[in-house]
């Protein structure tokens, strides 16, 4: 379900889910308790719109600067008109100089650009998953000296990926072990199995056929590949079966991240 974590989260009766959540396995019945204006998505949209409408410190400062520059521009324009008029220049000539000074010095670009940049930056941030609720607080973030990240998927990928395969002996090469693992995991819906399959495609290795696939809940999967019984499992499997003879079993251990 939608939790911000890389692994699926179990939901039971009366548990809350968010629209857009993905059901990993089994059937799921949900009751809609919020729709339309009360939905989670609409609340996010309203939050972004509020952030765009609220003025930050930079906008307030730009507004004050623009106001004073406007006063200065008009004042300088009037002074220019008076100077040329008292210098016995024709009225059209004096008006032309006054308008030129006002148009050149008027801070229209400053008054328009700052709010426009703030609105565009907030919208672009939202499309990339960064929701800015308070632009003033966002501007103050430049003074931060330490940031602590708590969510998986913020600095790491939101799905497990095979980083490296470590063969425990020289009998099987790393790519061969990966092929065995992918062959046995191709029938699994586990998120780690998806990571193994992506690694196989990335290395462009052949996907072998498997038979007698068996899912061991909480432990892993097993099956027959190329005449060998293959087990792709975690610590729970080996703890439970540590006393068995595994000489005929090909164990697969992966370092995923």
Annotated active-site residue in 14, 150, 175, 212: 150
Residue ranges in the chain assigned as alpha helix (H): 40-53, 57-86, 91-105, 108-127, 135-140, 174-185, 191-203, 235-240
175 part of the active site? no
Cα–Cα distance measured from residue 187 to residue 96, given in angstroms and rounded to the nearest whole number: 81
CA angle 151, 182, 189 (to 5 degrees): 55
- Residue 54 makes CB contacts below 8 A (sequence gap 6+) with 134, 135, 136
Cα–Cα distance measured from residue 30 to residue 16, given in angstroms and rounded to the nearest whole number: 9
CA angle 161, 164, 167 (to 5 degrees): 135
Cα–Cα distance measured from residue 95 to residue 77, given in angstroms and rounded to the nearest whole number: 9
101 touches 75 (CB < 8 A): no
Cα–Cα distance measured from residue 152 to residue 110, given in angstroms and rounded to the nearest whole number: 41
Catalytic residues: 150
């Amino acid at each position: 379900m939608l939790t911000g974590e890389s692994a699926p989260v179990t939901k039971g009766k009366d548990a809350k889910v968010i629209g857009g959540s993905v059901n990993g396995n089994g059937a799921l019945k949900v009751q809609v308790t919020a729709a339309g204006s009360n939905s989670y998505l609409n609340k996010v949209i309203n939050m972004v719109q509020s952030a765009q409408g609220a003025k930050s410190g930079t906008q307030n400062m730009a507004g004050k600067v623009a106001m004073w520059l406007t006063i200065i521009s008009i004042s300088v324009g009037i002074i220019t008109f008076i100077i040329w008029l008292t210098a016995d220049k024709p009225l059209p000539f004096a008006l032309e100089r006054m308008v030129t000074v006002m148009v050149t010095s008027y801070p229209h670009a400053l008054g328009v650009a700052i709010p426009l940049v703030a609105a565009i930056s907030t919208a672009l941030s939202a499309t990339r998953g960064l929701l800015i609720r308070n632009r003033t607080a966002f501007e103050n973030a430049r003074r931060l000296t330490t940031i602590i990240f708590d969510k998986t998927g913020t600095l790491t990928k939101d799905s497990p990926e095979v980083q490296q395969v470590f063969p425990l002996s020289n009998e099987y090469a790393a790519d061969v072990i990966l092929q065995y693992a992918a062959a046995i995991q191709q029938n699994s819906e586990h998120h780690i199995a998806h990571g193994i399959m992506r690694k196989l495609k990335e290395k462009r290795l052949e996907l072998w056929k498997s038979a007698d696939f068996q899912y061991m809940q909480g432990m892993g999967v097993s099956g027959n590949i190329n005449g060998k019984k293959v087990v792709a499992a975690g610590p729970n499997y080996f703890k439970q079966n540590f006393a068995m003879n595994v000489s005929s079993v090909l164990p697969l251990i992966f370092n995923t991240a």
